[in-house]
Amino acid sequence: IEGYTFDDAAPQGQPALGVHIPYPRSSVVDWTYDAATGRYLRTVQGAPHVEGLTKEQIAAENVIVFYAEHKKTDIVEDSLGSTAIDIVMKGSGRAQLCRDGIMQEVRWEQRAPGTLIQYYDAAGEVVPLKPGRTWIQLVPVDYAVEIKG
């Protein structure tokens, strides 16, 4: 079974002590690196995003900002007439992997339909994730995500 590669060793890259994702106003997301635990803590609209059962703040060892084309559709989702968005996750594109307080520019790629999307560095090598939880944030390709050092 194909899966991700994991490694405890911290990567090289630029500092990433925070990640700000400017989703629409009701859904603005921030991740803040907690050096004591080696995880990123998630907030939505400035408030801790907590898990429903445990009431603990959501945390992840890896936060991947996944840039993908967002296409409008004519599929109506609700009584207000809001339409669904088709997020194109085939082929390849830009991604940013944040782990250990470091951000790496990587490339996501799906090499064949139905296969696992993998993350690669500039040399074409698979980029290992830190063991633990991984949260993938899907954003449009033109989003101005802020990585805070």
Quote the pLDDT of residue 131.
97
User: Can you tell me which residue has the tokens 């998630």?
Assistant: 42
Q: In angstroms, rounded to a whole number, what is the distance separating the alpha carbons of residues 114 and 144?
A: 29
Kindly state the percentage of the chain with pLDDT values over 90: 79
In the prediction, which pLDDT does 81 show?
Answer: 85
pLDDT at 1: 60
Q: How far apart are CA 129 and CA 63, in angstroms?
A: 10
Instruction: Give the tens place of pLDDT for each residue, 1-13.
Output: 678 999 999 999 9
Distance (Å, whole) CA 19 – CA 15: 11
Task: Using alpha carbons, list the distances in angstroms from residue 39 to 42, 86, 131, 134, 144.
Answer: 10, 31, 11, 10, 23
**Look-up: residue for tokens 């790629």?**
109
- Tell me what the pLDDT averaged over the chain comes to: 94
Q: Please choose, from the candidates 103, 92, 44, the residue with its C-alpha nearest in 3D space to the C-alpha of residue 68.
A: 92
| Positions in the chain whose pLDDT score sits under 70 | 1
